[in-house]
Chain A
C-alpha cells in the first residue's frame, strides 16, 4: 500500500529537549516536504527536498533542521524546541519532474506540544 508514515503521532516534550520526527515513504518519490498546520494559518511549508542530499527552506524554516540521506526518509529535527513550535506537523511526498511537483501524499500527522 502506498503510504507516508510519520512517527510519533503524538509527542509532548519540554522546551530545549532535542527531538526528531521521522517520515518515510514507499512510493520512490523524489520530492519530500514538511508542513505545519496552525489555526487560521493553514498549511505552511517548513522544508522540502527535491532529491537525496538536496534540501531547501520553505516559508517557516526557523528552528527546524532536516536531512535527506536516503530517498525514502526525511526526518524533521527540532534541536531546541520552543512553545511556539507547538503545532500539527505533516510530512508529504510527491513525484518531481520537468513540469514540477505533482500532487502530494501526506502522512497522518504528528501532534507536537512543547511545554
Chain B
C-alpha cells in the first residue's frame, strides 16, 4: 500500500509562474520529508527537506510547506524556469527511521 502519494502525474507551468507540486502521506509517524528532482538518464538529486517541527522551509526559489494535520506537503517553485523541468519525488521517513518511502513522482514541464 502506497504510504506516500503524488496524485498529479504531470504538471505544466509557464516560465516565471509558480509551480506547486503536492504530496500526501498516510502514516502519521512520518516526521521527516524530502523532495528530490530527477532528470532523464540521471539519478534523483536531493532538493529540500523539512522536519515536522517546522511548517515551512525555504531554499532560494524552492519552498516546502508541511500541513501535519492534513498529512500533506507541497513544493513551491517561484519563479519557475525551463531548467526546472524534471520529475519530482517526495519522500517520507520517521525521525530515527531507517527507510524512506517515495511517492510516484510528478513530471513538471516549464514552458518558455
Please give me the residue from chain B that is nearest to A107 by CB atom: B43
Give the dominant DSSP class at A's interface.
strand
Q: How far is the CB of B103 from chain A (nearest CB, A)?
A: 5
A41 to B89, CA, bound (A): 11
Partner among B9, B43, B97, B102 whose Cβ is within 8 Å of the Cβ of A44: B102
- Determine whether the beta carbon of A100 is less than 8 Å from that of B97: yes
Take A106-B45, A109-B42 as given contacts and tell me if A40 and B98 are in contact as well, using a CB distance cutoff of 8 Å.
no
- Determine whether the beta carbon of A35 is less than 8 Å from that of B102: yes
Chain A, interface residues (CB within 8 Å), range: 20 to 34
A31 to B100, CA, bound (A): 12
Partner among B49, B93, B104 whose Cβ is within 8 Å of the Cβ of A42: B104
Within 8 A of B (CB), among A37-57: 40-45, 48, 50, 56
Q: How far is the CB of B1 from chain A (nearest CB, A)?
A: 10
In the complex, what residues of B have CB within 8 A of residue A4's CB?
Answer: 43
Take A42-B89, A43-B89, A108-B43 as given contacts and tell me if A101 and B98 are in contact as well, using a CB distance cutoff of 8 Å.
yes
